[in-house]
């Protein structure tokens, strides 16, 4: 599938969604939008993976099995949101990207606060609100293609509106942050109304203030009731945490002691291994390798250097160290864009484009695990 052309229909088909496609579209579109403004730690994809089941659980989709196709859709249709979460608004160079986010989030917020809004009414209203605030955007540039499903059927629109309303706070927060980014970028002040109405501006503002006060009073009462419950609960929780802290502190003390013992044991084993290596290399049965190599390094002649070398590698084999791919020594190999990972090279990676080289030395393994790759001498550039 061509990433540049993947749309919601393609995604729905790939995910095997056969029923309630409009509701799924609305849920996913909302989730992908507000995730860009989630204040949890991690990048955009981390938020999508960690909170997918929480927001999209009713669709029984395994995010790990289907992340590849969802990420392709994100790159095609939701790239601005990913950039905002990962790098911030300032890293979006295209003003159209930021405006597209503003339009989409603003449109969702308008749907929540109005009844039966047509697509044309929505576009005209958004255009006029932008114009009154000094944001000069052509009406034709206010694109609502990704929200087309909100204007097809009244019953489906009502269902989607209900789902959007459940995330009203998150949508408003996301919209406010996007508005702030536009204001900073354009050096303007956006005063955007949420209600499409024929009332006078004064009446609309009055109703908005009254509604906001009523909402704040309700929220305040709920907060007070919740705090009262939390006070009672916290009395018990504090005591539980104190007990847990004592238990954990005891566990930490035990682990610290164990860690000290483990480090000491590791040092002892390391020292023992070195002593064993020296003894084995200087054992009579192995030909006093260390003694003979030392004397050779001081200028004394060694009549049977091959014998010394052979015994040296026999000791290494006893310890699990052995060469591999020895048949490649002396052969000519091509070093391409990816194959250089298979070799040790005599030149820096940045020097290599497409070169040939000779294999000089073998690979080395310890207990069956590769620790060094074959060494290649590069000829070309």
Per-residue pLDDT of the chain (381 residues; tens, 9 = 90+): 554 578 999 999 999 999 999 999 999 999 999 999 999 999 999 999 999 999 999 999 999 999 999 999 999 999 999 999 999 999 998 888 999 999 999 999 999 999 888 889 999 999 999 999 999 988 888 888 888 888 888 888 888 999 999 999 999 999 999 999 999 999 999 999 988 865 434 455 555 567 778 888 888 888 898 888 888 888 878 888 888 889 888 889 889 888 898 898 888 888 887 888 888 878 888 788 888 888 888 888 877 888 888 888 888 888 889 999 889 899 998 876 556 678 888 876 665 565 788 999 999 999 999 999 999 888 755
- Tell me 366's DSSP state: E
Continuous H helices in 187-200 = none
**Residue 271: per-residue pLDDT:** 84
Q: What is the dihedral of CA 88, 91, 96, 99, to 10 degrees?
A: 20
Ranges of H-type helices in the chain: 8-15, 21-35, 44-56, 63-77, 79-87, 95-113, 119-132, 154-166, 168-186, 201-281, 289-297, 305-318
**Domain ranges (residues) in the chain:** 3-196, 320-381
Gyration radius of the chain over CA positions: 34
Query: Residue 376 forms beta bridges with which residues?
Result: 345, 359
What is the token pair recorded at 225? 């009731």
CB contact set of 191 (below 8 Å; sequence gap of 6+): 132, 133
For residue 360, what are the contacts with CB-CB under 8 A and spacing of at least 6?
329, 375, 376, 377
pLDDT score, position 6:
87
Residue 288: name the closest of 268, 308, 272 by CA.
308
Q: What pLDDT shows up at residue 353?
A: 61
Q: Answer yes or no: are the C-beta atoms of 335 and 373 closer than 8 Å.
A: no
pLDDT of residue 205: 52
């Amino acid at each position: 599938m061509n990433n540049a052309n993947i749309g919601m229909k393609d995604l729905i088909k790939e995910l095997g969604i056969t029923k309630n496609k409009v509701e799924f579209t609305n849920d996913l579109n909302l989730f992908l939008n507000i995730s860009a403004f989630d204040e949890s730690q991690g990048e955009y994809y981390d938020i999508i993976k960690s909170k997918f089941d929480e927001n999209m659980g009713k669709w029984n989709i395994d995010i790990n099995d289907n992340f590849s196709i969802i990420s392709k859709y994100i790159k095609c249709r939701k790239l601005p949101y990913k950039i905002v979460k990962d790098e911030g608004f300032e890293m979006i160079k295209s003003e159209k990207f930021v405006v597209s986010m503003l339009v989409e989030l603003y449109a969702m917020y308008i749907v929540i606060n109005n009844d039966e809004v047509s697509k044309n009414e929505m576009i005209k209203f958004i255009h006029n609100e932008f114009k009154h605030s000094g944001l000069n955007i052509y009406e034709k540039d206010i694109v609502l293609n990704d929200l087309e499903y909100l204007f097809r059927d009244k019953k489906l629109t009502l269902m989607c509106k209900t789902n959007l309303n459940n995330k009203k706070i998150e949508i408003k927060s996301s919209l406010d942050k996007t508005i702030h980014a536009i204001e900073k970028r354009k050096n303007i002040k956006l005063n955007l109304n949420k209600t499409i109405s024929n009332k006078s501006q004064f009446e609309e503002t009055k109703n908005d203030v009254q509604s906001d006060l009523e909402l704040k009073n309700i929220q305040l009462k709920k907060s007070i009731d919740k705090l009262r419950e939390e006070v009672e609960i916290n009395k018990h929780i504090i005591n539980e945490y104190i007990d847990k802290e004592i238990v954990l502190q005891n566990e930490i003390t035990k682990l610290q002691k164990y860690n000290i013992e483990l480090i000491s044991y590791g040092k002892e084993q390391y020292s023992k291994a070195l002593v064993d290596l020296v003894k084995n290399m200087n054992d009579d049965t192995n030909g006093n390798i260390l003694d003979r190599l030392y004397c050779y390094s001081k200028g004394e002649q060694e009549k049977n250097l091959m014998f010394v070398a052979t015994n040296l590698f026999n000791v290494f084999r006893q310890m699990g160290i052995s060469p591999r791919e020895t048949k490649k020594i002396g052969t000519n190999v091509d070093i391409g864009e990816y194959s250089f990972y298979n070799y040790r090279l005599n030149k820096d990676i940045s020097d290599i484009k497409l070169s040939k080289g000779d294999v000089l030395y073998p690979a080395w393994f310890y207990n069956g695990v590769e620790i060094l790759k074959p060494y290649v001498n590069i000829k070309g550039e």
